[in-house]
Structure 1
Amino acid sequence: MTRFGIGLHPFAASLYPMSNPTPLTIGTRREPFFDGHLIEKLTRVSHELIDPNPTSVVIPFDEPWEGAYSLYCTVIKDGNLFRMYYRGQSAIKHKESLCYAESHDGINWVKPKLGLVPFKDRNDTNILPIEGDQELRLTHNFTPFLDRNPQAKPDEKFKAVAGNDKHGLYGFASADGIHWRLIKREAIFRDGIFDSQNVPFWSESEKCYVLYFRVWTGEGYHGLRTIARVTSQDFINWSQTEVMSFGDMPQEEYYTNVTEPYPLAPHIYISMPSRFVQKRRWMNSKQAKARGVLEDREADVSDTVFMTSRGGSAYDRYFPEAYIKPGIDPQDWVGRNNMVSLGLVQLDATTLGLYRCRHYASDSCHLNLHTLRVDGFARLRAGYKKGKVLTKLFTADGEQLFLNFATSAVGTVRVEVLDADGQTIEGFSGRAAPKLFGDSVHHPVKWSKNRSWSELAGRPIRIRFTLSEADLYALQQQ
Structure 2
Amino acid sequence: MRITTAVTQLLLIVMLMLATQLAAGDDAAPPINIGTAKRLTWDRSLLDKAEGIRFEMHQPRRTGERNLVADKPWESWQLGGMSSLLHENGKFRLWYGVSHGIRHGEEYAVAYAESDDGIRWTKPELGLVEYAGSKKNNLVIAYSSVIGQVFVDPHAKAGEKYKMLAAIFPTKDTDPKRYLTLLSSPDGLTWSRPTQNVVREGDFALDTQSQAFWDRDRKSYVLYTRMGPWRQVGRSESADPFAFPAPQNVMRPDDPVKADYYQAGVTKYEEAANAYFGLVPIFFHPGDERGNPADGNPPLTFTYGKNPITAVAPDTLDIHLFTSNDSIHWQRRGDHVPFLGLGLNGQFDSRSLYPGVGYAVVGPEIWLYYSAYDCTHIESLDGKDPFSKYLGTITRATLRLDGFVSATAGHSGAELLTKPVIFSGDRLELNVDCSAGGHVNVELQTAEGQPLPGYSLAECDRVYHNNIRKVVTWKGQSNLSELAGKPVRMRLVMRDCKLYALQFPATSP
TM norm structure 1: 0.82
1:270 paired to 2:277: yes
1:324 paired to 2:340: yes
SS of 2:458's partner is: helix
Match of 1:157 in 2: 161
1:63 paired to 2:88: no
CA distance in 1, matches of 2:341, 2:121: 25
Match of 2:296 in 1: none
Number of positions where the alignment pairs a residue of Structure 1 with one of Structure 2: 439
1:367 paired to 2:394: yes
What are the residue-to-residue correspondences of 1:84-99 with 2, within 5 Å? Answer: 84-93=94-103, 95-99=107-111
One-letter amino acid matched to 1:231: E
Match of 1:227 in 2: 233
Uncovered stretches (5+) of structure 1, i.e. residues with no partner? 1-13, 217-222, 290-295
Deviation at 1:458, TM superposition (A): 3.1
CA distance in 1, matches of 2:196, 2:90: 35
1:180 paired to 2:191: yes
Deviation at 1:376, TM superposition (A): 0.7
Contact 2:284 2:314 in 1 (8 A): no
1:42 paired to 2:14: no
Match of 1:416 in 2: 443
Match of 1:25 in 2: 33
SS of 2:488's partner is: strand
What per-residue deviation string (whole Å, max 9, x for no partner) do you get for residues 417-470 of structure 1?
Answer: 122232222211133112112222122222227473222223333222222332
What per-residue deviation string (whole Å, max 9, x for no partner) do you get for residues 98-141 of structure 1?
Answer: 111101121211111223334336653212244xx5xxx22xx2
CA distance in 2, matches of 1:146, 1:193: 22
What are the residue-to-residue correspondences of 1:114-129 with 2, within 5 Å? Answer: 114-120=126-132, 123-129=135-141
Match of 2:220 in 1: 208
Q: Which moved more, 1:319-328 or 1:72-81?
A: 319-328
Match of 1:8 in 2: none
Q: Which moved more, 1:441-450 or 1:76-85?
A: 441-450
One-letter amino acid matched to 1:145: V
Match of 1:9 in 2: none
Deviation at 1:249, TM superposition (A): 9.1
Radius of gyration: which is bigger? 2
Deviation at 1:385, TM superposition (A): 3.6
Q: Which moved more, 1:205-214 or 1:301-310?
A: 301-310
Change (3 A) 1:417 1:306: same
Match of 1:189 in 2: 199
Change (3 A) 1:31 1:266: closer
CA distance in 1, matches of 2:457, 2:231: 53
Uncovered stretches (5+) of structure 2, i.e. residues with no partner? 1-21, 170-176, 289-298, 306-310, 381-388
1:439 paired to 2:486: no
One-letter amino acid matched to 1:108: R
CA distance in 2, matches of 1:15, 1:41: 17
What are the residue-to-residue correspondences of 1:75-474 with 2, within 5 Å? Answer: 75-93=85-103, 95-120=107-132, 123-130=135-142, 137-138=144-145, 141-149=146-154, 151-163=155-167, 166-182=177-193, 185-191=195-201, 192-216=204-228, 223-245=229-251, 253-265=260-272, 267-279=274-286, 285=302, 300-311=315-326, 313-317=328-332, 319-321=334-336, 322-329=338-345, 332=349, 334=351, 337-346=352-361, 348-359=362-373, 361=380, 363-448=390-475, 450=477, 452-474=479-501
CA distance in 1, matches of 2:444, 2:365: 30
One-letter amino acid matched to 2:182: G
Contact 1:280 1:301 in 2 (8 A): no
TM norm structure 2: 0.77
Deviation at 1:330, TM superposition (A): 5.4
Which of 83, 87, 90 is the matching residue for 1:73? 83
CA distance in 2, matches of 1:144, 1:173: 12
Change (3 A) 1:443 1:357: same
What per-residue deviation string (whole Å, max 9, x for no partner) do you get for residues 23-79 of structure 1?
Answer: 333222111123533333333332210010000321212222214532211111122
Q: Which moved more, 1:414-423 or 1:449-458?
A: 449-458
Change (3 A) 1:474 1:357: same
SS of 1:227's partner is: strand
Match of 1:5 in 2: none
Deviation at 1:164, TM superposition (A): 5.2
What per-residue deviation string (whole Å, max 9, x for no partner) do you get for residues 383-425 of structure 1?
Answer: 4443322233323432111111122233322111122232222
Change (3 A) 1:366 1:68: farther
Deviation at 1:201, TM superposition (A): 0.5
Change (3 A) 1:276 1:55: same
Identity across aligned pairs (percent)?
28
Deviation at 1:271, TM superposition (A): 1.1
SS of 2:159's partner is: helix
CA distance in 2, matches of 1:195, 1:101: 22
Match of 2:8 in 1: none
CA distance in 1, matches of 2:24, 2:255: 28
CA distance in 2, matches of 1:15, 1:320: 35
CA distance in 1, matches of 2:428, 2:255: 35
Contact 1:164 1:195 in 2 (8 A): no
CA distance in 2, matches of 1:467, 1:17: 27
Change (3 A) 1:181 1:47: same
Deviation at 1:87, TM superposition (A): 1.2
- Could you say what the CA RMSD is over the residues aligned between the two structures, in angstroms? 3.2
Change (3 A) 1:427 1:324: same
Change (3 A) 1:358 1:442: same
CA distance in 1, matches of 2:465, 2:503: 18
Q: Which moved more, 1:434-443 or 1:356-365?
A: 356-365
